[in-house]
């Protein structure tokens, strides 16, 4: 990633690491008020309840080192280029919209059935939104997979990953992974990027000076 890390990407990385460190000392203390609890939890007074702020705060919590490592690695790899393209303000808006979109998708899926105690945490919704933006902005940029180490254009990687998440979500495999939340993050990002692009086309080119 060329040049210094842009400010919002850097801040998100730092915040996630700080919150993860706090989790290591406080156990499940942050889970109750700040994880994303399903709407069905409202019907169970013995459980922590869904609160509106959880559609944001859940994204700063993680289960274990592997969970936060891969999310922060993806944020580091793709966030900088997307932030340079959008600018800090729009990048932050975009990231948060993807996080909220992922939360809404997960709430809808859980509303259709499931365990009312099955809370959701992790930055994956925002990260999948960044992955989509990277693939749309730099479709021919080569991405090297870790397992297996196969290089491919960004647009192919994003498409395959999205299809895989859909298949796994429908098949309900990889229990404990919020596949539809990932897709919700990508869908929210696509809608916002499309809106911005249509607005830019509507304004037309800048006047000649």
From residue 161, how far is each of 32, 39, 92, 121 by CA, in Å?
31, 28, 23, 20
Is residue 207 assigned to a domain?
A: no
Q: Tokens 């249509």: give the residue.
A: 198
Is residue 1 assigned to a domain?
A: no
The alpha helices in the chain, defined as continuous H runs, are 7-26, 31-34, 54-57, 64-86, 88-111, 124-137, 154-171, 179-203
Q: How many domains does the chain have?
A: 1
- pLDDT attached to residue 209: 39
Task: Name the nearest CA neighbour of 143 among 129, 160, 126.
Answer: 160
What would the pLDDT profile of 33-87 be if each residue is shown by its tens digit? 999 999 888 888 888 989 999 999 999 999 999 999 989 998 998 999 999 999 9
- pLDDT attached to residue 84: 96
For the full predicted model, state whether its pTM sits above 0.75. yes
Is residue 175 assigned to a domain?
A: yes
Residue 59, domain extent: 7-202
What would the pLDDT profile of 117-174 be if each residue is shown by its tens digit? 789 999 999 999 999 999 999 998 888 766 667 788 888 888 877 777 676 655 665 5
Task: Name the nearest CA neighbour of 31 among 39, 43, 42, 19.
Answer: 19
Is residue 208 assigned to a domain?
A: no
8 Å CB contact between 62 and 122: yes
Which of 14-23, 89-98, 119-128, 166-175 is least confident? 166-175
Is residue 49 assigned to a domain?
A: yes
pLDDT at residue 1 tops 50? no
Any idea what the CATH number is for the domain that residue 115 is in?
Answer: 1.20.1540.10
The alpha helices in 50-123, defined as continuous H runs, are 54-57, 64-86, 88-111
Is residue 41 assigned to a domain?
A: yes
Spacing of C-alpha 197 from chain mean position: 21
Is residue 209 assigned to a domain?
A: no
8 Å CB contact between 102 and 125: yes
Is residue 2 assigned to a domain?
A: no
């Amino acid at each position: 990633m060329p040049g210094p890390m842009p400010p919002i990407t850097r801040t998100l990385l730092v915040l996630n690491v700080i919150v993860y460190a706090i989790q290591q000392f406080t156990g499940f203390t942050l889970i109750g008020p700040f994880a994303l609890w399903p709407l069905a939890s409202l019907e169970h007074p013995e459980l922590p309840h869904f609160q509106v702020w959880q559609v944001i705060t859940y994204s700063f919590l993680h289960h274990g080192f592997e969970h936060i490592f891969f999310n922060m690695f993806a944020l580091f790899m793709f966030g900088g280029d997307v932030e340079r393209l959008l600018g800090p303000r729009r990048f932050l808006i975009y990231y948060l919209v993807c996080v909220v979109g992922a939360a809404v998708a997960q709430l809808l899926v859980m509303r259709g059935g499931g365990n009312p105690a099955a809370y959701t945490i992790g930055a994956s919704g925002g990260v999948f939104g960044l992955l989509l933006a990277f693939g749309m902005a730099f479709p021919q940029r080569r991405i090297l997979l870790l397992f297996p180490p196969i290089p491919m254009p960004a647009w192919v990687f994003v498409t395959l990953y999205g299809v895989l998440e859909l298949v796994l979500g429908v098949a309900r495999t990889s229990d404990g992974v919020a596949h539809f939340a990932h897709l919700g993050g990508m869908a929210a990002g696509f809608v916002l990027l499309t809106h911005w692009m249509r607005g830019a086309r509507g304004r037309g080119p800048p006047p000649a000076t």
